[in-house]
Amino acid sequence: MNETIAGRVALVTGAANGIGRATALAFASSGYKVVVSDIDSQAGQATVALIEAAGGEAVFIRCDVSCDAEVRRLIEQTVATYGRLDCAFNNAGIEIEKCKLADGNEEVFDAIMGVNVKGVWLCMKYQIAVMLAQGGGSIVNTASVAGLIAAPKQSIYSASKHAVIGLTKTAAVEYARKNIRVNAVCPAVIDTEMYLRASTDDPKHVALVVAAHPIGRIGTVEEIAAAVLYLSGDSAGFTTGIALPVDGGLTAL
């Protein structure tokens, strides 16, 4: 274990599955104590079991990130458990069915914004308070390539991820002199349950999705975890307020 990481505490939301689980595992294997958080308690506990089986240290705290009282309690319990919060990965996010903008409805808009935007804002609000009190920390938020460019049939999701980048940049500037760095990671299509739910079995559709990535494949959860670990750690000490595409070249086209 890297000596500078010993004793550091990382919190991951949406850590029961996909990108969040892989990143929680990566934090733990680098030596961080990890708070695994999600609305799915069973799968969240399974992430903790995977970390412990690999010799790491973690605890599960259930939290719906769209609820102020639950996020406040999550951060309070994190500090009560491990005494501090060094790195936060605000990753919980949802995507609901795809449709063109004029076919969307208010219920879906509120649901997506509630988790993807309010959730990230609430998490940062309570995390930054702890980081200010302890003298610093770093935060990474999960945006998306849909936060950088248009995402046809995903207008609400795309708006929510553009908003995550706005929150990220503004918080980065507001707290830069307080030793708190805030960055976003922008994945393209990553092989997770979210991708599987949104895709079809049609080989033509799969081929189109793959072809959108100049690198010729979709990404892996480990590739996003590696980017988050870099942005969270001291090697990225001069990096704040960025929205880093991890996208196989998709946004370079």
**Which residues, numbered 218-237, are part of the site for ligand NAD (CB under 6 A)?**
none
Q: How far is the CB of 112 from ligand NAD (least distance, A)?
A: 9
**Which residues, numbered 103-132, are part of the site for ligand NAD (CB under 6 A)?**
115, 119
Q: Applying CB under 6 A, which of residues 9, 12, 20, 33 lies at the interface with ligand NAD? A: 20
Interstrand relation of 9-13 and 33-38 (parallel, antiparallel or unpaired): parallel
Stretch that binds ligand NAD, among 28-36, 88-96, 105-113, 171-179 (CB under 6 A): 88-96
Determine the Cα angle at 134 with ends 131 and 138, to 5°: 35
Is 38 one of the binding residues for ligand NAD (CB under 6 A)? yes
> d(Cα 245, Cα 183) in Å, to the nearest integer?
11
Q: Which residue has the tokens 């870099």?
A: 230
Stretch that binds ligand NAD, among 59-67, 104-112, 132-140, 168-176 (CB under 6 A): 59-67
Q: Tell me whether residue 179 is exposed, middle or buried, using C-beta atoms within 10 angstroms of its C-beta: 0 to 12, 13 to 18, 19 or more.
A: middle
Q: How far is the CB of 48 from ligand NAD (least distance, A)?
A: 13
Interstrand relation of 180-187 and 33-38 (parallel, antiparallel or unpaired): unpaired
Strand partners, 33: 9
Residue 56's nearest CA partner among 76, 84, 27 is 27
**Cβ 89 vs Cβ 232: under 8 Å:** yes
Active-site annotation holds for 157: yes
Per-residue binding letters, 182-211, with ligand NAD (x by CB under 6 A): -----x-xx-xxxx----------------
Q: How far is the CB of 66 from ligand NAD (least distance, A)?
A: 5
Q: Containing H/E element for 200?
A: none
Q: How far is the CB of 102 from ligand NAD (least distance, A)?
A: 23
Tell me, rounded to whole angstroms, the distance of Cα 113 from its chain centroid.
15
Stretch that binds ligand NAD, among 4-12, 89-97, 104-112, 129-137 (CB under 6 A): 89-97
Stretch that binds ligand NAD, among 37-45, 123-131, 170-178, 234-242 (CB under 6 A): 37-45
**Cβ 12 vs Cβ 23: under 8 Å:** yes
Q: Tell me whether residue 150 is exposed, middle or buried, using C-beta atoms within 10 angstroms of its C-beta: 0 to 12, 13 to 18, 19 or more.
A: exposed
Q: How far is the CB of 212 from ligand NAD (least distance, A)?
A: 12
> Looking at 32, 82, 126, 157, which residue is catalytic?
157
Residues that bind ligand NAD (CB under 6 A): 13-14, 16-20, 38-40, 63-66, 91-95, 115, 119, 142, 144, 187, 189-190, 192-195
